[in-house]
Amino acid sequence: MIVQRGEKTIINGFVKQVRDLGKICFLIIRDINGEYQVTIKDEKLLSQAKELKDESVVRVEGKRVENPSVINGWELIPEKIEIYTIAEQPLPLNLSIKSGLDKEIDYRFLSLRIPRIASIFKIESTVNNAIQEFFNKNGFFTIHTSKIVAAATEGGANVFPILYFDKQAFLAQSPQFYKQMMMSAGFEKVIEIGPVFRAEPHHDTRHLCEYTSIDIEVSYIKSYEDIMKYLEKALQYTIKKVIKINQKELEILGIKLEIPKLPFPRITMKEAKEILKSKYNKEEEEDLDPEGERLMGSYVKETYNSDFFFLTEFPWSVAQFYHMRKKEDNNVTYRADLIYKGLEISTLAQREHRYEILLNQLKEKGLHPEEFKFYLDFFRYGVPPHGGAGLGLERIVKQMLNLENVQESTLLPRTPTHLVP
């Protein structure tokens, strides 16, 4: 952190390197914004600098002197050095080479000092804030729903049970029911950005057991097209913000972002199956698997020059009980997925708000109404038509920055093998 106090400049940061040339010593100091050179010639300060070890934390106070041959075009000639802490040597993680992902996660506090890795999380901060800001500007209320729930949202098996005093409870896998409750409560438009938990024993590059879910829900929609419009505008807004705010970080990561053009292509599941016919022999499957998503991603890139597309009209067989079915065809729903560079980043849908139909759909999916009483009650005393979406923050950033693994855009990944730190 740099502080300017009159003529004096103060640099607080980590010692990246001590270059001791005897009568002169160069310190390279790093903070969250960059690196700075400190040039020491004073004898007393020289002996102090020689005590320093890499990654120690210091405060250096002195005068800034223009010098076109050093980083930033200036160097600090110090008058005072204060050593806050000396770093033990050797460091458990070498910060100047690429270590494996597991090791980088094991020593998160150290790997985050590497500008390449810090850049990912600085961009993630922008993405989070931009999405929040976009929806708030559009009249959405921010909510926070409980993450301790009595029943699984979808009656599914991928929940973490917890002991809640003498009862069994679960960690929430989605705020789905509560954001719908807010529609029933008349809040019209809500957004929640918060953690969700999924006991998915995957060992792949796109699943976490805890991730940051961006959830929106909107009342009085005409169709799920309204939700798609919100999402594409929000993503365009977000990418513009990242380009504006994170130029330096994008450069460090070697990423050139382009503002996506609207509208994103819409392709029905039926059309996708047709397109994939020659390249993909899984026609009997109702959903697209990751390979299908990837192939469709390349097709859309080639055909429309777009990184994004909406895959629409999912079959009822892979929909949730609360998704609304198409008026003209009971086997199709108003559910869509948003695919970014060949990976799902969002599922969105118009919800079924008519009580009797909802109840029947729930039964048709083999679920028990008594277990969903609190949810079903939202639909008995007046509820607007509504729809919404859930997006994974870490997946958006993974795709934006062409990262190989979603764990790279997760501060503290929880996976079947990672529980510490």
Q: Please give the backbone phi and psi of residue 10, each rounded to the nearest 5 degrees, phi first.
A: -115, 125
Both structure tokens of 146: 């409980």
Q: SS3 of 223, please?
A: coil
Angle at 238 between CA 259 and CA 306, to 5 degrees: 35
* Closest to Mg ion by CB, 347 or 361: 347
Which stretch of DSSP H or E encloses residue 58?
strand 57-66
Q: Which helix (H) or strand (E) holds 79?
A: strand 74-85
CB 219 within 8 A of CB 183: yes
- Site membership for ligand ATP, residue 349 (CB under 6 A): no
Report the residue from 55, 307, 313, 344 that binds ligand ATP according to the rule CB under 6 A: 344
Nearest CB to Mg ion, comparing residues 347 and 409: 347
Q: Which does 395 bind (CB under 5 to 8 A by kind): ligand ATP, Mg ion, none?
A: ligand ATP
C-beta closer to ligand ATP: residue 208 or 403: 208
Q: Candidates 58-66, 134-142, 236-244, 389-397: pick the segment binding ligand ATP (CB under 6 A).
A: 389-397
Does residue 413 interact with ligand ATP by CB under 6 A? no
Does residue 390 bind ligand ATP (CB under 6 A)? yes
Please name the amino acid found at residue 83: I
Amino acid at 200: E
How near is the Cβ of 239 to ligand ATP at its closest, in Å?
Answer: 16
Burial class from Cβ neighbours inside 10 Å (0-12, 13-18, 19+) for residue 57 reads middle
Smallest distance from the beta carbon of 401 to ligand ATP, in angstroms?
Answer: 15
Which partner from the list ligand ATP, Mg ion, none does 345 bind, CB cut-off 5 to 8 Å by kind? Answer: ligand ATP
Which residue is at the shortest CB distance from ligand ATP? 392
Using CB under 6 A, which of the segments 53-61, 97-105, 113-121, 384-392 binds ligand ATP? 384-392
User: Taking CB within 5 to 8 Å according to partner kind, which of ligand ATP, Mg ion, none is near residue 181?
Assistant: none
| Smallest gap from residue 389 Cβ to ligand ATP (A) | 8
Beta partners for residue 370, in sequence order: none
| Smallest separation, CB 233 to ligand ATP (Å) | 18
Q: Does 392 bind ligand ATP (CB under 6 A)?
A: yes
Spacing of C-alpha 121 from chain mean position = 9
* β-strands 74-85, 34-40 pairing: parallel
Quote the strand ranges of 253-407, DSSP E: 266-268, 308-312, 335-340, 343-350, 386-392
Which has the closest alpha carbon to 350: 203, 235, 228? 228
Q: Which segments within 90-150 are labelled E, that is strand?
A: 141-142, 148-149
Q: Where are the beta strands (DSSP E) in 144-227?
A: 148-149, 161-164, 167-171, 189-197, 210-219
Q: For strand 8-20 and strand 2-5, is the pairing parallel, antiparallel, or unpaired?
A: antiparallel
Total residues binding ligand ATP (CB under 6 A): 17
Q: Does 347 contact ligand ATP by CB under 6 A?
A: yes
383 binds, among Mg ion, ligand ATP, none (CB under 5 to 8 A by kind): none
User: Any contact of residue 48 with Mg ion (CB under 5 A)?
Assistant: no
Among 211, 321, 334, 378, binds ligand ATP (CB under 6 A): 211
For Mg ion, what does the binding mask look like between residues 325 and 364, x meaning CB under 5 A?
----------------------x-----------------
Number of Cβ within 10 Å of residue 125's Cβ equals: 13
Out of 395, 399, 400, 414, the only residue in the binding site for ligand ATP (CB under 6 A) is 395
According to the binding rule CB under 6 A, does residue 231 interact with ligand ATP? no
**Which residues sit at the interface with Mg ion, rule CB under 5 A?**
347
**Which residues sit at the interface with ligand ATP, rule CB under 6 A?**
198, 200, 206-208, 211, 213, 344-347, 390-392, 394-395, 406
